[in-house]
Structure 1
Amino acid sequence: MSNCIALDRIVVENNRVDYYFSVSSSLQKYFSKNNHMFLEYNHDLAYVPHSILAIPFAANVLPLVWITDSTLMLNELDLSFSECIEDLRLAYQEMFPSVAFKGTTKIKKCVENSYVSETKSASLFSGGLDAFTTFIRIKHNKPMLITEYGWHHHDIQHSEVWEADKKHVVSFAEAHGLENILIQSNYGNFMISETIDREFHKKLGFSWWEGLHHGLAIISAAIPMAFKFKVENIFIASSLHIGHSSKCASDPSVDNEIKYASGHVYHDAYELTRQDKVKVVVDYYAKTNIPVQLRVCFKNKKNCCNCEKCLRTILGIVAEGYDPNNFGFDIPDHLSQHLSDYFKEHVKFLSADVINLYWIAIQQRMDENKANVLYPDLLEWFLDYDFAANQKRALLHYRITKFFPILKRKISDRLNNVFAQKV
């Protein structure tokens, strides 16, 4: 038999499901040694059948099955999801034509699950800009808010980041009379992404988590709860937009193909750029006068205001003529100087996609709206900041100051080794 991943047991206890699986020896290098994945919810799993519970495990490993030309073996699986697997594979294949997406899925029993929807929508809600945009667009449906933390290891460990996330989303839901679905898992760690990346990153052009894994992991974790509450549509906010050149595991060509029982998935706001989303959020909350705390740093307890993602969001808000302090950011003194210092140190690391998708759009919007910008000292230099030229200059300086000393040391070490061998 070809390389194989087999789901051996699904163990359900109250609000937790554990998956125990076995893999061929040639595939073991991609998995943590105990071959175990789990999901824990803040609602019990009563009446959720194993054929639905098998979906998250299948969804997490399918991309690996495809790129390694392996076989996934399942005792049972929801019929609707089983029927969309081939469409998902084809969507990935089109996205990554340089890698062959092969492999097969063998299912002993496909179960036809169905329900009459009782909940119009559930929305994956991190508290970030994308998630807030989607919430504003569907809030009339009173969506259930789904928030996840997938970075545990063999079991749940205390995480200050998760506790901060949970406090934020629960408070938000309470203020809007909504229901929270909270999910904890090890889906981000039960596979060894570093090993997969070493083997496939060059072929794919993207990391395992970014390019293939995270969309299916996040969406599928929500499906057991969507089944329990008879949800018609799971909404996931877009990360990118129409016309982008980047590839991403969460893309409408993939997400919109996912089916489960009687439910569907909708990849929302793909027609909006990130700057469009900034405008949607700040205009809405400025109009309603409702306090809002955007959560941009997903691996920090609060927005650090020092990373690229924080700074691009801060500047996006500034470009719309609003004060970022009113949207969950503790702005550093002398924002203009803070941004200038950041670029001096980090512009060399910014990808062309990040510059073109986000920073150029911020510059353009700030130029259009400069009469309303609250930080006029930014206008003195940022509008004319040449990312390409400054990046080229920074890279040259980096190579001179870092590369040549490293090369000199390596040559010295090699000569010393040669000398030692002769002596």
Structure 2
Amino acid sequence: MNEIILDKIEIKNNRVDYFFSVNGRMQKYFKKENHMFLEYNYDIKDIPKSVLTIPFISNVIPLVWISDARILIDELDRNFFECLKNIKHAYQNMFPNIEFKGSLVVNEVVTNTYIPERESASLFSGGLDALTTFIRIKDKNPILITEYGWHENNVQFSKVWEADKNNAIQFGENYGLDNILVQSNYGTFIMGQEINRDFSKKLGDSWWHGLHHGLAIISAAIPIAFMLKIKCIYIASSNSPQYKVTCASDPTVDNEIRYASGMVFHDGYELTRQDKVKVVVDYYSDKKEIANIRVCFKNEENCCKCEKCLRTILGIIAEGKNPNDFGFSIQNNTSESIKTSLNYEVKFFTNTFINIYWVNIQNRMKENYDNVLYRDLLEWFLDYDFVTERKKTLLKYRTENFFPILKRKISQKVNRLFA
């Protein structure tokens, strides 16, 4: 029997640790310690275990479903327990090529309720999506929730987390808002690469992107949302219905999440990324403030060279604004430096990225042609053929790196044979 058993929950001050055991072939999907933790900037010792169990269940339940396994726990909040069938159904609709089965066995389903005292909390990375949602709900005075889920078994110093945290705290101070800070190993305690080997072909997506990250991020916020009696947790959309993609964070999933007397809302799904760029640059331009859009989630500052930085920079330029006023530094030879970076990064672009991001930027730049500040960009970017350039640079990359690529593939096959 493939099963996961939540053996023990330890709560000490501002931290909760989950210890679990795994039976059957499921063990290969977890680090050997079988341990997950969450650490907050609030004391959580008075939060009931039925609520504290929610983050653990959220992280492993998609794996249980696709593996036709079961998970055994002592207690769970009733509203969350009942919403899982709708979440499972939403995933099944999203991924029709794999059957979502499996089961959750709970000794006691506990009814938790409260009268909301705060209207909203908002997951806040400081990125474009998060800033757009903040602008849309700022009148609700949301508590800002910022997370880092890439620790191992304990909290370790991270320059990236320090930068994210300090940015969120400063942003909160600027607008008179409180901060919820969460640190965890939810991004590392599961062996995502092992799950991808077994399921990515059927899913047509990766474990983290397709099934894991949405529930992981949202559920980490739920215990504090319960404690502070928050009515609704807002999570900013990453995609839009303009170009349907599979994604763990989707309105059909997120909007089904319930816990005690709280709910979740997936915000801004009707907006394209370029729409969001316009929301943010118009808002800060009207306020005559310099904004700091943090899009490089693995760097302390925006590198201005990666795909995500490039599409944000060019999106801002397409709106007739200066990226230097929004957290980017592109002082000299702007057109040439962007072209050099784009020619390097384009080999990694997917058709989805090209269609939902880059074509929209080109179209907006054509619409707003007269207001574009960097005129030399217009000479080449409007006609830049992403598909053709991707093929050219990918061929060049594979030719120049033939032996390292071959060595890596052989090594991966050997590792799989002896795993």
Q: 3-state SS of the aligned residue for 1:32? A: coil
> Structure 2-normalised TM-score?
0.95
Q: What residue number does 2:415 align with? A: none
Question: Distance in 2 between the 1:181 and 1:79 partners?
Answer: 24
Secondary structure at the aligned position of 1:190 is classed as coil
User: TM-score of the superposition, structure 1-length normalised?
Assistant: 0.94
1:131–1:401 CA distance, 2 compared to 1 (3 A): same
What letter is aligned with 2:214? G
Separation of aligned partners in 1, 2:406 and 2:269: 45
Q: State the match for 1:251 in structure 2.
A: 250
Q: How does 1:280-291 map to 2 (within 5 A)?
A: 280-291=279-290
CA distance in 2, matches of 1:314, 1:8: 48
Q: Distance in 2 between matches of 1:107 and 1:280?
A: 45
Change (3 A) 1:153 1:284: same
| Residue 138 (structure 1) aligns with | 137
Counterpart of 2:262 in structure 1: which amino acid? G
Partner of 1:129: 128
How far residue 344 of structure 1 moved from its aligned partner, in angstroms, is: 2.5
- Report whether the alignment pairs 1:165 with 2:164: yes
1:105 alignment partner, SS class: strand
- Tell me the amino acid that sits aligned with residue 4 of structure 1: E
Which deviations, in whole Å up to 9, do the C-alpha atoms of 1:120-149 show, x marking residues without a partner? 000000000000000000000000000000
Structure-2 residue corresponding to 1:15 = 14
Q: 1:406 to 1:279 in 2, by over 3 A?
A: closer
Tell me by how many angstroms 1:393 deviates: 2.8
Instruction: Label 1:308 to 1:406 Cα distance change in 2 as closer, same or farther (>3 A).
Output: closer
Deviation at 1:218, TM superposition (A): 0.1
Match of 2:414 in 1: none
Structure 1 residues 19-418: aligned runs within 5 Å: 19-403=18-402
Partner SS state of residue 343, structure 1: helix
What's the secondary structure of 1:175's corresponding residue? Answer: helix
C-alpha separation in 2, matches of 1:400 and 1:107: 55
* AA in 1 matched with 2:121: A
Cα pair 1:15 1:43 within 8 Å, conserved: yes
- How many angstroms apart in 2 are the aligned matches of 1:193 and 1:404? 27
Contact 1:322 1:374 in 2 (8 A): yes
- TM superposition shift of 1:47: 2.4
CA distance in 2, matches of 1:298, 1:394: 25
CA contact (8 A) 2:12 2:45 kept: no
Conserved 8 A contact 2:11-2:45: no
Q: Is the 8 A contact 2:69 2:102 kept in 1?
A: yes
Tell me if the contact between 1:82 and 1:110 (Cα under 8 Å) persists in the aligned partners.
yes
| Cα offset, 1:346, TM superposition | 2.5
CA distance in 1, matches of 2:254, 2:352: 22
1-structure distance, mates of 2:175, 2:119: 16
Q: Secondary structure at the match of 2:293?
A: coil
Name which of structure 1's ranges 275-284 and 6-15 shifts more when overlaid on structure 2.
6-15
Q: Secondary structure at the match of 1:114?
A: coil
Tell me if structure 1 keeps the 8 A contact 2:28–2:191: yes
CA distance in 1, matches of 2:406, 2:182: 48
Residue 338 of structure 2 aligns with an amino acid whose one-letter code is L
129-138 or 25-34, larger mean C-alpha shift: 25-34
Amino acid at match of 2:348: F
Please tell me the residue identity of whatever aligns with 1:20: F
User: What amino acid does structure 1 have at the position aligned with 2:192?
Assistant: S
Greater shift in the superposed pair: 376-385 or 330-339: 330-339
Task: Give, in angstroms, the shift of residue 401 of structure 1.
Answer: 4.3
What are structure 2's unaligned runs of at least 5 residues? 410-419
Q: Per-residue deviation at 1:46?
A: 3.6
Structure 2 residue matching 1:246: 3-state secondary structure: coil
User: Residue 338 of structure 1: CA displacement?
Assistant: 1.3
Superposed displacement of residue 360, structure 1: 0.5
1:291 positional shift: 2.7
Aligned equivalents of 2:404, 2:260: Cα separation in 1: 60
Could you tell me whether the CA contact under 8 Å between 1:245 and 1:353 is conserved in 2?
no
Q: Do the aligned partners of 1:152 and 1:184 also contact (CA within 8 Å) in 2?
A: yes
Deviations 1:320-375 (A, max 9, x none): 01111011111152121112212322322210011111111000001111111110
Q: Aligned letter for 1:47?
A: D
Q: Deviations over 1:64-113 (max 9, x none)?
A: 10011000111000000000111111111111111111100000000000
Please tell me the residue identity of whatever aligns with 1:291: I
- Partner Cα distance (1:23, 1:396) in 2: 44
SS of 1:63 mapped into structure 2: helix
Aligned equivalents of 1:144, 1:36: Cα separation in 2? 29
One-letter amino acid matched to 2:184: S
Rounded Cα–Cα distance in structure 2 between residues aligned with 1:193 and 1:172 = 33
CA contact 2:398–2:405 (8 Å) conserved in 1: no
Counterpart secondary structure, 1:239: coil
Query: Bigger CA drift: 189-198 or 276-285?
Result: 189-198
Contact 1:38 1:186 in 2 (8 A): yes
